[in-house]
Amino acid sequence: MNTNALKKTKIQWFGHSAFRIITPNGQSILIDPWLDNPVAPKGIKEAISADVILLTHGHFDHIGNTVEIAWHSEAKVISNFEISLYLKNKGLKEENLIGMNKSGTIELSGIAYTMVNAEHSSAITDGEKVIDGGSPAGFVIKFIDGSGPTIYHSGDTGVFGDMKLISELYSPEVALLCIGGHFTMGPLEAAKAVELLQPRKVIPMHYGTFPVLKGTPEELKNLIPGELHVAVLPMNPGDLVEL
């Protein structure tokens, strides 16, 4: 009997696109950990450690606090190849950096991380320099033993037709989707993404951090066709949900 199957996967949102996934066996996975964003819980940056950090692209609001968290916790950092080179130059240990590219899969401690497409940009700003941040991506997170749901983090993206391929290949049950608009999908495009992906649950992200990110979970709910029977789970920064 797999005792992990009796435990729940937990997801915590820290505002913007920053999430922590706590696995049934206690692993901590951070995604795009910008933990001093304007709506993040106070002091959370100092309280967080990680086993794995996933970076979808190179923008400051996604790389965020990766260097300091990875340095103190010895986390494995999974990103595109170009970001891994940047992080090496910032002093992170090469053995803790895993550079990859789209359609690649990395398996660590019973979890498969697959990098998938996103439609966005990825430049890294370092002082006054602008550095090549490679290609933006999303991630599919799959528990190899089936002890938790398959989770898709879209990264920053517009809607694109090949989200249907993500559905067909990986069958994500939970989708973390940007809805703010301006830089990413708004509610209209995110609703179409839901149609293409066919998840059971959607957690909205990348909204409300700044005034320009105007999309709301309520708008998304109203735009998703009822026959899809998808649960939209709005969260407040710091909230933790069990899946």
pLDDT value for 6? 60
- Does any domain span residue 241? no
- Minimal CA–CA distance to 179: which of 147, 127, 141, 221? 221
Using one digit for the tens of pLDDT, what is the confidence trace for 221-240? 999 999 999 999 999 999 99
Judged against a pLDDT cut of 60, whether residue 3 lies above it is answered with: no
Point out which residues pair with 175 in neighbouring strands: 152, 202
Q: How many domains does the chain have?
A: 1
Per the structure block, which two tokens stand in for 206?
A: 């990348």
Contact at 8 Å (CB) between 240 and 209? no
Point out which residues pair with 34 in neighbouring strands: none
- Does any domain span residue 62? yes
Please state, in angstroms and as integers, the Cα–Cα distance from residue 54 to each residue in 97, 113, 118, 200, following that order.
10, 9, 14, 23
- Does any domain span residue 164? yes
* Residue 196 backbone phi and psi in degrees, to 5: -75, -40
pLDDT value for 5? 52
Q: End-to-end CA distance of the chain, in Å?
A: 20
**What's the whole-number mean pLDDT along residues 179-183?**
98
Query: What percent of the chain is modeled with pLDDT above 90?
Result: 96
Using one digit for the tens of pLDDT, what is the confidence trace for 89-136? 999 999 999 999 999 999 999 999 999 999 999 999 999 999 999 999
- DSSP letter, residue 95: G
- Does any domain span residue 2? no
Using one digit for the tens of pLDDT, what is the confidence trace for 23-78? 999 999 999 999 999 999 999 988 899 999 999 999 999 999 999 999 999 999 99
Range of the domain at 43: 8-234
- Does any domain span residue 92? yes
* pTM passes above 0.75: yes
Read off the CATH number of the domain in which 196 is found.
Answer: 3.60.15.10
Judged against a pLDDT cut of 50, whether residue 9 lies above it is answered with: yes
pLDDT averaged over every residue in the chain: 96
Three-class secondary structure assignment of 151-164: EEECCCCCCCCCHH
- Does any domain span residue 125? yes
- Does any domain span residue 240? no
Give the model's confidence band at 1: pLDDT under 50 very low, under 70 low, under 90 confident, else very high. Answer: very low
- Minimal CA–CA distance to 194: which of 152, 236, 239, 234? 152
- Does any domain span residue 177? yes
